[in-house]
Amino acid sequence: MKKFLAMFLIGALAALSFSGCSKTQESSSAAGETTKAADKASGDLVVVGFSQVGAESDWRTANTESMKSTFTEANGYSLIFDDAQQKQENQIKAIRNFIQQDVDYIVLAPVTETGWDTVLKEAKDAGIPVIIVDRMIKVSDDSLFTAWVGSNFEKEGTDAANWLADYLKQKGKDSEDVNIVTLQGTIGSSAQIGRTNGFNKVAKEHSNWKILAQQTGEFTQAKGQEVMESFLKSYPDIDVVVAENDNMAFGAIDAIKAAGKTCGPNGDITIISFDAVSAAFDAMEAGDINVDIECNPLHGPRVAEIIKKLEAGEKVEKLQYVAEGIFPAETAAKDRVGRAY
């Protein structure tokens, strides 16, 4: 119904304007705004279709919670939530579903960077703005999404490597051979690509750093433990584990202890992790993780800000980075006070 009214208004606006403006996004969004304004007057909720990667990690749970607690009826929204169980085909199906349901906005947390052009073109043709959260997408035409909210993953990776360089220097080990293994996230996701590239870029500056192996643990604790067990069998002298999220770090810690080794600031193996979720602060306080590079999952309020602006016909920033920090074990107990996740 909304779309029919919108098409009628587009025709009416085009007929009235004669200002030479082509059939552009502006006129349809103007008409769309009018329709939406009418809806709002009638108190209609803004319908948001959210395609979430899955529920693979504590970070993902916090991210889902942030979106669900923001897009409530009390706040003026109707949220249609879909968990894709880490499969792109499920996300594509969900987006098509949202188009069928004629939602006002589509929010996508993409499992990997590529493979979105076709379905996002369908959303664009249906006049539905798409907002990307968390990981980035690679598309041939960046008008296929209106805005992106997420992290600078490459900076997270370089921050991790720079922390290690400082740490080794403090320990007087900056010229000793350092054997490193990496538990990578989902291959092809911007979090994995950025963290791996960022860390490796700095690692290349240290000729004494030896990256023995890098393998995906798929951002899950079980797979992280399995891969770490295989690393421990292959490499008896691992000095550092880079876990590209906390859940893989938890799995690695279990594998290290089962192998009769120790980890953390007073252990045999240094653990560098990413996300900085609450359970990771527990692990830092327990002495198992050395440092955690934060990845902020609280995208809900940022996306709501973007939607509010779009509803008011305002322009929005295309790329919006969230604020993030670096948390060493030494100050974890103090740093965690007041954190939202």
Does 33 interact with ligand GZL (rule: CB under 6 A)? no
Does 149 interact with ligand GZL (rule: CB under 6 A)? no
Closest distance of CB 176 from ligand GZL, Å: 30
**Count of CB atoms situated within 10 Å of the CB of 257:** 13
For the chain, helix (H) and strand (E) counts, in that order, are 12, 12
Provide the mask over 40-79, with x wherever binding to ligand GZL is found by CB under 6 A and - wherever it is not: ----------------xx-xx-------------------
Read off the amino acid at residue 243.
A
Does 223 interact with ligand GZL (rule: CB under 6 A)? no
Near ligand GZL in 242-301, by CB under 6 A: 245, 274-275, 295
Near ligand GZL in 98-127, by CB under 6 A: none
Closest distance of CB 333 from ligand GZL, Å: 23
Closest distance of CB 62 from ligand GZL, Å: 9
Shortest CA distance to 62 belongs to which of 220, 252, 295, 219?
A: 295
103 half-sphere exposure, CB direction, 13 A CA radius: 25
Rg over alpha carbons for the chain, rounded to the nearest Å, is 23
Near ligand GZL in 181-200, by CB under 6 A: 191
Closest distance of CB 288 from ligand GZL, Å: 17
Does 167 interact with ligand GZL (rule: CB under 6 A)? no
Query: Which residue stretches of the chain are H helix?
Result: 2-17, 25-41, 58-70, 88-100, 117-125, 153-170, 190-203, 221-234, 246-258, 278-285, 300-311, 332-335
> What whole-number distance in Å separates Cα of residue 303 and Cα of residue 148?
9
* Site for ligand GZL, rule CB under 6 A: 56-57, 59-60, 134-135, 151, 191, 219, 245, 274-275, 295
